Structure 1
Amino acid sequence: MDINKELEYLESVEREGPDKVFTMYLNTDPSDPEQQGREWKIQFKNGIRNFEKYLEEADDKEELKSFQQVKQKVEKFIRGNEQQFRRGVIVFATADEEVWFATRVQMRLQTEFYWQETPLVEQLKKLKEQYPKTGIILVQQNQVRVIESYLNELEMEKNYELDIEVDDWREKTAMGPGNPTIQKDDLNARFEANKHRWYKSLAPKIDKQAKDRAWENIIIIGEPGQAQAFQNQMTKQVDEVINKNMLDHEASKILGEIFG
């Protein structure tokens, strides 16, 4: 999902007449104390009903018809996706489908509903700023793990391991062989003697990924000395270094450490 393109388009939309734009930000976060009973269902129902009631009382038949067409599309999306809801739902929609943007997101939202001439994109902008496309590089001696996150979602993951026998990095796969066994003390000694050369041979690959995949933020995580050693070999600017060993942690826990 390219939020930059979506935002550019949504900000250009301005409707006239009865077919206005529906905007919805819906908090569905199960970890939110206010959502323990799936209260979002009631909030969604009430939000829709309030617009319908207002248009009925205004006796605006054309606009009511447009809104009810949008309502059907949005309700269909909710029914079809509620079992996979994450922390929030964002919808922008018009009856003629000139505008249709509906997505589940891994960020908590403030529940809001709008029906007006233009989409309300302020929350979407804030999410883009808070959760940019981020390259996370986890280092642990002869192992490097690369995670790409966008809008707090895992987009890509790669794992590299230095083959001590041939002194070269290889990308690990589920079917790939493990690194030859090496005693910890031997590895520690060889790492201290060779870490700058080892990391220098891998860093250009990570720099290229950062450029090709348009990372807006780069974070390195690793124990003191290891994280800084890798940072020193990169040409791309590193925005943050976190001195923790999290190489083997679940991606969700790593994202939680960074984004909260």
Structure 2
Amino acid sequence: MDINKEIKRLESIYLEKPERVFTMYLNTDPADPDQQGGEWRIHLKNALQRFEQYLEEDGDKAELDNFCKVKDRVKKFFAENELQLQKSVIIFATPDETTWVAEILQVPVETELYWEEIAKVDQLIDLSQTYPKSGIILTQREAIKIIETELGRQLATSYFELDLDTEDWKKHTGPHYAQSTVSASGTSVKREQFNKRFEANRHRWYKRIASKLDKFAKDRDWQHIYMVGNQDETHDLSQTMTKPINHFINKNMLDKKEAEVIKWITK
């Protein structure tokens, strides 16, 4: 989802009775003291019941039927995804199903539910500004991993590994293999030799991948760039790039799972 395009699309929606737009921001964070017992279920159930009760009393059967269509789809979404919930859920939905946005997020929201003529996008705009489309560049000597995120969600992951024979960086579709490549002999001597070679050539080798990292940032419209790894390595790597680095993290997280890295950075 391109969040900026989605916001513009949602802002363009205006529906008159008996049509309406359902907007939901729901706090499902298990670490929140107010959510220790899964209170989000009660908040959601009560809010949906209040909307339904109001529409029944209002006597507009067509609007009530429309709301029930959306309500049933919302309940089905939670039934299918309850075990995957993280800190929050946002939903935008219309009865004719031309709009259905349902996202499980690792970032906090304030619980709000609406059934109105327009989609309520204020919180979504705030989230897009607080957690913009970002690139997380993790480096560990001869291996580099790139995690793309938006709204605290993983969009994609790419891996690069230095080929010591050609001194060029090769892209992989899976986890890096550099550790096994440079230590195939199983001796600490080979690793020590590589470390000396790496330190002597680090700046030159990082310069070879800088243009690829800059292209990633440009093509994917990163609004924020994190660089994570050994302080000396990230400094050298950043110096070879034209794109500015917004935040440096002196921590080795290359082998951590993407969700763990994103959670640590967005905490």
**With structure 2 as the length reference, what TM-score do the two structures score?**
0.88
Counterpart for residue 113 of structure 2: 113
Counterpart for residue 251 of structure 1: 258
Decide which of 175, 192, 204 is 1:197's aligned counterpart: 204
Q: What secondary structure sits across from 1:183 in the alignment?
A: helix
Cα 1:4/1:168, change in 2 over 3 Å: same
Counterpart for residue 220 of structure 2: 213
**How far does the alpha carbon of each residue in 1:128-147 deviate from its partner, in whole angstroms, 9 at most, with x for none?**
11221211111222222222
Counterpart for residue 238 of structure 2: 231
Counterpart for residue 34 of structure 1: 34
Counterpart for residue 17 of structure 1: 17
The two structures, once aligned, show a CA RMSD in angstroms of 2.2
**How far does the alpha carbon of each residue in 1:82-138 deviate from its partner, in whole angstroms, 9 at most, with x for none?**
233232221112222343222222222211111111111111112211221211111
Cα 1:175/1:17, change in 2 over 3 Å: closer
Q: What secondary structure sits across from 2:203 in the alignment?
A: helix
Q: Do the aligned partners of 1:26 and 1:110 also contact (CA within 8 Å) in 2? A: yes
Q: Percent identity?
A: 45
- Letter of the 1:65 partner, please give it: D
**How far does the alpha carbon of each residue in 1:15-34 deviate from its partner, in whole angstroms, 9 at most, with x for none?**
22221211111122222232
Q: Do the aligned partners of 2:23 and 2:114 also contact (CA within 8 Å) in 1? A: yes
Aligned residues: 260
Give the stretch that moved more between structures: 116-125 or 155-164: 155-164
Give the stretch that moved more between structures: 123-132 or 27-36: 27-36
- The offset of 1:3, in angstroms, is 1.5
Q: What secondary structure sits across from 1:38 in the alignment?
A: coil
Q: Do the aligned partners of 2:20 and 2:117 also contact (CA within 8 Å) in 1? A: yes
- The offset of 1:205, in angstroms, is 1.3
Equivalent residue runs for 1:153-168 within 5 Å: 153-168=153-168
**How far does the alpha carbon of each residue in 1:144-196 deviate from its partner, in whole angstroms, 9 at most, with x for none?**
22221222122222222223344232234459683232634323322222111
**With structure 1 as the length reference, what TM-score do the two structures score?**
0.90
Question: 5+ unaligned residues in a row in structure 1: which ranges?
Answer: none
Cα 1:179/1:83, change in 2 over 3 Å: same
Counterpart for residue 186 of structure 2: none
- The offset of 1:61, in angstroms, is 3.1
Q: What secondary structure sits across from 1:31 in the alignment?
A: coil
Question: 5+ unaligned residues in a row in structure 2: which ranges?
Answer: 184-188
Q: What secondary structure sits across from 2:231 in the alignment?
A: coil
C-alpha distance in structure 2 between counterparts of 1:247 and 1:42, whole Å: 40
- The offset of 1:233, in angstroms, is 0.5
Cα 1:54/1:234, change in 2 over 3 Å: same
